[in-house]
A and B are shown apart, each in its own frame.
Chain A
Amino acid sequence: MNVLFAIIQTLLFIALAPLLAGWVKWCKCHLQNRRAPSLLQPYRDLIKLTHKQPVVSKDASWLFIIAPYIIFSTTALAVSVVPLLAVDLPTASSADVIVLVGFLAFARFFLVLAGLDVGTAFGGMGSSREMTISAMAEPAMLMAVFTLTMTASTTNLSFAIDHVLQEGLVLRPSFIFSLSALMLVAVAETGRIPVDNPATHLELTMIHEAMILEYSGRHLALIEWASQLKLMLYGVLIANIFFPWGIAETFSLSVLGYGLLAIMGKLALLVVVLAISETLLAKMRLFRVQEFLSFAYLLGLLGMLSHIILEAAH
């Protein structure tokens, strides 16, 4: 039963991710006074891409071809350990939050290699920038996550969320800091403004797009899907860790349905915040990103310190 539920939840996660991406676009368009595409546009794009014949450079190696599958499956694996609807998730015990970060690193590793594989300047540029940003973001993210795991004294996401839920509403200064840190990291990791602009193909600024420039057809579809998954993953992490209320604690259908509604509501709200910030902010220069991320790290650190100094039982 549990296992079945885990599979269903993961599939649901994967299925909903493009919708979230569509919602982001919709919000942004409306905020910027543009006509918005349909909420389902990302699904259409994916389907279209999977039905196109992929073109592969003659200089590409096998790594280029298998990379999209690896990227997609590791990202899928990552989402499979994040409780979406219900707290109790059996897969969470096979991989905790550190492994989750590891999965993302795994996907990134291959994404970057794929960017380098063909041997164009764009690929190298994108790869180099991607690695730079992720290297800076990782410690900040772990700092934020550690605050949570130390509070809950577990690295298992299921147990951690359960712990927050059981505690009820406690206003923890450390959580405020970690939340902000995690949000900044999420912006950087998912390639949103002000770190990267997902909508542009201007070579001097792009990061993510530069790496996948050579991809087409189903390969591109997988990579796009994986990045939508990642966006949703961060959203769910933020939503369910810091505001776990509404998540199902039992497996009755109604509770689960309620949980689904709750998470969708929380994500929708988060996306609105994201869209507003993307509309208000301009993209930063590449070398300003480190300041952005070190600020995130500082927040994470402050969160940790306030956990240790202000909240710990002496």
Chain B
Amino acid sequence: MGIENLDHYSQIILSLAALVMLSSFIMLAQGRLLRLVFVFAVQGFMLVSATAIAAYSFNNPHLYISAAITLALKVIFIPWMLRRHILKLNMHRDVEALNNKTAIMMGGASLVVFSYYVLHPIMQNSSMVLLNALSLSLAVILLGMLLMISHHQAIAHVVGFMSIENGLFFAATVSTNGMPMVVELGVAFDVLVAAVLFGIFFLHINSSIDSLDVDKMNRLNEVDQ
């Protein structure tokens, strides 16, 4: 069954999924924090769109609510907060030098393949949308982790963390028509609190090590000097 046999909504959703993944790749290669946050907001927006379309196409009104929450949190609040911190801490001019950018991108690409490889056998009975969407969201999660591994700015870590959340959210929305409402609300609440805490931590970290470079936070190690 090829993509041509699907309805348009599904085609849109799949395209958005591809775009979400693309945005993950862009973030992975992004050294400037403001652009990173911007791309993150775009990713969030595409997620919201996908959710809204899914809500419409599956006729599932409660997905609208989750779309709204996501919009508020991931597209507006978190990017705004991050941007504010970047400006406040005067980090908008810093460019993070990423080593082995090519290798990371190739690694990211193989992660996508790997996601398919992992989920393919178990999804044989399901629809293609589902398989693709789940695989892509797993890829987004893994790419988010890769982002955190390759970047050493605390803010980039938060972006990576949130993009993992995006991936999870996408998976929940597309594959299962959203989790039960209670759970969604709980998750959203957790994300909100986490975001606030991240903000607090930026200040603490900055005041303690005078930068947000996580590589400088290695007092607690056990390696022989």
Q: Tell me, yes or no, whether A and B come into direct contact in the complex with CB atoms closer than 8 A.
A: no
A residues whose Cβ falls under 8 Å from a Cβ of B: none
